[in-house]
A and B are shown apart, each in its own frame.
Chain A
Amino acid sequence: MALSGVEIFKHLPKTNCKKCGHPTCLAFAMKLAAKQASLDACPDASEDAKKLLGAAAAPPIRAITLGTGDKAVKVGDEICLFRHEKKFFNPSVFAVAIKDTEAGDAAAKKIEAVKTSEIDRVGQKLRVEAIAVIETAGDPAKFAGVVKQVVDGAPGVPIILVSKNPAVIEAGISHCADKKPLIYAATAENAEAMAKIAKEKKASLVVAADGLDALAELSEKVKGLGVEDLVLDSGARKAKDMIEQYTIIRRAAIKKGFKPLGYPIISFVGRDDALSEAAAAAVGVMKYASIIILNNVEKWKMLALLSLRQNIYTDPQVPMQVAQNVYKVGDAKESSPLMITTNFSLSYFIVRGEVENSKVPSWLAVMDNEGLSVLTAWAAGKFTASKIAQFITESGVEKNISHKELIIPGYVAILSGSLEEKLPGWKITVGPREANGLPTFLKARA
């Protein structure tokens, strides 16, 4: 978080010597606060001032990368508390927990679940990104065995090693040392030993403490031991504690520039009941958890959670949109039907998906409406008969098709009359209202 001019002023020499080109130290401090000057201009600035300003320029929440290669994921580096203030940048990472007692078949099933977790939603590929191996048996060899099973079974998937026993971590990390794993966790009891492993292996490290004061103290201590890539666990497990503690952490980091809490948050939301687990994870997604550890990653659960994450992390200023174009769906020919929709990603992908389901090759004209849905665009006067007519005419689609029939969304049936006037020679057909009516509709015509 940026410092105010007055705060910066306190750390300047206060001699008003003008060497920086400003009449007073205070004037210079104001320029610094506004980021219109650099501290280098003051030859007499103390080391203390340089450190302070350097720290203030660092992002309020440190960016941490889990894993390496094309499956690596970045978390942290957020700058606001509410998505409407700017946007949330680095989506929460979902990880499934595999206990060392699950070695063998149970672990294999979860590994498979992660590998097949990818879904395609509104043009984005979403998946469970990581795997956490959890020590429960106190047995380094057993733990290392599961780590190896994960590394071999899901190559490249980032790993979180969970044990408070340094010997166990040591054994596990031997199978993934070069893969930038995340170690869970340094506590007041084992901080030195864990920091040593993290430093040696260039791993990221969770600091775990009960309560925020203890957490801040511990993160400073671990940082002092030379580990910078830290992640926080305040011990919150109940939804209430998650919202409260994560809010305080995020606020302290972003609004107060409080460095000891300026790291991403890890959240363990495991519950016996799968739907309760999903609800707790949802709270984490909305309220600042960067890494969310689930007991299980059932497909239905992940569909809901990944959709929520996508919603929360979209840019509130710019709706997701696709390029204006006449798209070919399947092996469309001259005689294939022509439909129109708007360029809101959601509208486009839903409609396209249903046209694909119908197996009827088609042309899909997508008109630029600044990313608004069909009804919203219509209500905003951006999906009107004259604008559609102009788009169809200028698109050149007539060269690709041998007919002159345009199918419009059922919700804008009201446009059909005026469209026939604006597009002389064209037949306007009103399609179903909901896109899921398209397969039946298209098949009936084919």
Chain B
Amino acid sequence: MALTIPKETYSGKIYNVQLGSGAKAVTIGGASALPFLSFEGTFPNRPAVALEVADIAPDDWPETLKKAIGGVSANPVQWAKFCQEQGADIVALRLIGTHPDQQNKSPEEAAKVAADVAAAIDIPLVILGSGHAEKDTQVLQAVATATRGKNCAIGKAVEENYKTVAAAAMANDHKLIAMSQLDVNLAKQLNILLSQMGFDKERIIMDPMSSALGYGLEYTYSVMERIRQAALLQNDPMMQTPIVCDIGANVWKVKETMAPDAEAPEWGGLEDRARAWEVITASGMLAAGADLLIMRHPGAMAKTKELISELM
């Protein structure tokens, strides 16, 4: 019995979304088959990895992580340059300091940080608010204006604030990150709402909501697999946006990335364990179809990029 390679016929394709400009611009998306199956489709762009930078010193990040970043974390501009030197494809600036429960920094302060960071690097920039839906509308508005012309991705637009955030991205020629809550239909719904208000769907990067290894990873994994199947096999144009996975923020708050060796001897050394936690989480998201990963640990990023090379 001879083997005939069972191939899928894909009718859809993921949109190409470019971030930044010039020689260091990064394009994500473009896949015409399920992840890494080159025998039945093409993958013009490799998944990109962004390293995260915070606008305020990240006091609540675990020690292992702070150590890996070195002494630059009090200064977002230095930190962003460091990420670039470390080989990140993209810098992801999270304006956590604007959160009312954090330092409640003003939109103007945020805009200045964003502009300074954008000026200091020549790789593309992703700019994330603090996750406070209401405050983010003002913050992202100011930030989008201040970085006009840089072709950033700003976000996250969520159900509660998508109109204002999308308008800010649109007015300043940025791309948009739109996040829904771990649900195929909600992800699609948000893209439809954005399209209906005139936002070009080919400028959206969808965030299906990430979770860490051991803490709900399988939910994100399966939601992503289903989104990709709808995009490629059912040719659903509202599902054909590239996918971003914001994993660092989830990974570096679980116990496995924090518990000292003495507290968990059966878990092995903290340093290796924590880095592995981020890499294995990343590997899960890549297998499920991530086009962009937002990570925190430079060493974990490097290892993830190695895996991506092996997969391409």
Chain A residues with a Cβ under 8 A of chain B: 82-84, 119, 121, 212-213, 216, 220, 238-240, 243-244, 247-248, 251-252, 255-256, 258-261, 274-276, 278-280, 282-283, 286-287, 298-305, 307-308, 310-312, 314, 316, 346, 350, 373, 434, 436
Contacts and interface: CB of A to CB of B under 8 A. Distances in A.
Contact of A275 (B217, B225, B275): B275
Interface in B273-303: 273, 275-277, 279-280, 283-284, 287-288, 303
Given A82-B222, A244-B39, A301-B276, A213 B217 contact: no
Contacts of B311: 239-240, 243, 283
Contact of B267 (A247, A299, A308, A314): A299
A390 B187 CA distance: 35
A301 B310 CA distance: 19
Contacts of A261: 3
A434 B307 CA distance: 32
A137 to B, nearest CB: 30
Nearest to B283: A282
Given A121-B214, A260-B3, A286-B287, A300 B255 contact: no
B68 to A, nearest CB: 14
Interface in B190-238: 213-218, 221-222, 225-226, 229
Interface stretch (B19-27, B30-38, B90-98, B119-127): B30-38
B266 interface: yes
Nearest to A305: B280
11 contacts: A82-B225, A83-B225, A244-B39, A248-B39, A275-B275, A275-B303, A286-B288, A300-B272, A303-B267, A304-B280, A316-B222
A416 to B, nearest CB: 18
**Residue with the greatest number of chain A CB neighbours at <10 A, chosen from B34, B229, B272:** B272
Given A299-B266, A299-B267, A316-B222, A304 B6 contact: no
Interface of B: 1-6, 34-39, 213-218, 221-222, 225-226, 229, 253, 255-256, 258, 266-269, 272-273, 275-277, 279-280, 283-284, 287-288, 303-304, 306-307, 310-312
A82 B218 CA distance: 12
B222 A308 contact: no
A175 to B, nearest CB: 30
B47 to A, nearest CB: 13
Given A298-B272, A346-B215, A282 B37 contact: no
Contacts of B303: 275-276, 279
A298 B268 CA distance: 7
B6 A308 contact: no
B284 A239 contact: no
Given A252-B6, A280-B310, A311-B217, A303 B225 contact: no
Nearest to B256: A303
A243 B1 contact: no
B284 A308 contact: yes
Contacts of A251: 6
A248 B213 contact: no
Nearest to B287: A286
Given A259-B1, A312-B218, A84 B276 contact: no
B83 to A, nearest CB: 20
A303 B273 contact: yes
Contacts of B215: 346
A436 B255 contact: yes
Nearest to B276: A304
4 nearest interchain CB pairs? A299-B268, A300-B268, A300-B273, A307-B214
Contact of B38 (A82, A244, A255): A244
B284 A282 contact: yes
Contacts of B2: 213, 216
A256 B267 CA distance: 42
B268 A276 contact: no
Nearest to A357: B263
A382 to B, nearest CB: 16
A248 B40 CA distance: 11
Contact of A311 (B5, B214, B255): B214
Contact of A240 (B217, B258, B310): B310
Contact of B310 (A239, A248, A252, A303): A239
A300 B37 CA distance: 30
Contacts of A84: 222, 225-226
Contacts of B268: 298-303
Contacts of A299: 266-269, 273
Contacts of B35: 243
Contacts of B266: 119, 299
A391 to B, nearest CB: 24
Given A258-B1, A287-B287, A311-B221, A248 B6 contact: yes
A300 B267 contact: yes
